[in-house]
Structure 1
Amino acid sequence: MDQYSATPGARDNLRKSISAVYEWALDREHLDPMKYQNPAKTIKRINKGSKGFYTCTIDDVRAYMKHHEPGTLTRRVMIVELCTAARREDLRLLGPFNEFSMDGQRWLQWTQSKKPNRVIETPMLPMLQEEVADVRDGVYCKTSRGTPLTHGTMENYVRGWFDQAGVKGSLHGVRKGLSSILPHLGATSYEIDVLLGHEMGSYETKVYVAQAERKELATSLSKKLQKVKW
């Protein structure tokens, strides 16, 4: 167990697995309960619950954008995230091949990597179109070698870039922050579900809100997002 001291989550998972094996063996009398006890029960957990990822505020994002200059990967990653709210594993792979036109407007479409693998469609905001205008192939957010960042590397980079700006934050924190900021701009819960790629409300809601309506909601949401001065 000591070798996992640097990774509390892994240590706690190992403790849980060991405990389960001992309980199984004791319940089925593979071990004599008079001679053996579950040693994992005497080991305390390190992680005793947390509040999860920090939720970025609009001031956090503004500080980030003010600190990092235009034309940098640092700024591009943030702009793509703000305009798509994509999960990091999807954000890293977005590029021109995800673009399509509808009703005279440029849109993005991608299939979420995370189950249930929903297809996401969202209008490209002017800020995003301007930022990626020079990208003709590959992905929007790439290394100096032209390859996509891994989602773990991207998350670590963004945390570091927030630190450089003197504020706390992460990609997931920005995604969470959008869901907190948008209600103040008048966005409905359905619009936020569309943005984040979540299941839309209850079962009854899913029956009445068809895929075509998701596009209408996405269009409405894009107009609200344009009101934010990052």
Structure 2
Amino acid sequence: MGTHERVWIDVLLYTGLRRGDAVLIGRQHVKDGVACIKTAKTGTEVNIPILPPLQSSLDAGPTGDMHFVTNKNGTPFTKESFGNAFRKACNAAGVKKSAHGLRKIAATRAAEAGATVAELEAMFGWNGGRMASLYTKSADRRRLALRGWGKS
């Protein structure tokens, strides 16, 4: 807690935003505990509750005045520079992952918790059902397998 890297991880994990949107979101997007932002890629509005773990991370900071995700100088990132800084921090921690991996984790967790295709689309700003179906198919398959084995 209290590091840029922790804010970065928690913003990505608890919002499910792409890095280009994660670098834009800030206090001006939050009203009554819900962040509302139009995604840059699809222009779809997403509504994201600021869950307690994210709020704790934001409270501990460091964050900027208008952006939760900032660089070591306290200024906003571009999506490219954020991606590079995030990967560099991951490498320093011995983790060979990227910022997008946390979006995948957020979608997987939601699907495994029972989120529907429509809910995933609303959460992540997707359209057409294809992307959301990838996550629900895996989660449903696992649930069905475990339920089936319980019948044997």
Q: Per the shorter chain, which TM-score range?
A: 0.7 to 0.9
Q: Distance in 2 between matches of 1:113 and 1:147?
A: 20
* Relative contact order, higher structure (CA 8 A, sep 6+): 2
| Mapped contact 1:109–1:119 kept (Cα < 8 A) | yes
Q: Which stretch of structure 1 is more off in the superposition, 82-91 or 190-199?
A: 190-199
Bigger Cα Rg: 1
Report the equivalent of 1:166.
94
Report the equivalent of 2:23.
92
Regions of 4+ moved over 3 Å:
none
Contiguous gaps of at least 5 residues in structure 2: 131-152
**What one-letter code is carried by the residue in structure 2 that aligns with 1:97?**
Q
Identity in percent: 30
Within-5 A mapping of 1:74-223: 74-101=5-32, 106-115=33-42, 117-133=43-59, 137-199=65-127, 201=129
Q: What RMSD over aligned residues (CA atoms) do the two structures have, in Å?
A: 2.0
Q: Which stretch of structure 1 is more off in the superposition, 71-80 or 136-145?
A: 136-145
Cα distance change of structure 1 residues 201 and 96 upon mapping to structure 2, 3 Å threshold: same
Normalised to the residue count of structure 1, the TM-score between the two structures is 0.51
Secondary structure (helix, strand or coil) at the match of 2:21 reads: helix
String of CA shifts for 1:62-108, please: whole Å, max 9, x gaps: xxxxxxxx11111110000111111111100111101111xxxx100
Contiguous gaps of at least 5 residues in structure 1: 1-69, 203-230
Cα distance change of structure 1 residues 72 and 136 upon mapping to structure 2, 3 Å threshold: closer
| Mapped contact 1:194–1:200 kept (Cα < 8 A) | no
Cα distance change of structure 1 residues 136 and 174 upon mapping to structure 2, 3 Å threshold: closer
Q: Distance in 1 between matches of 2:24 and 2:92?
A: 25
Deviation of 1:200 (Å): 5.5
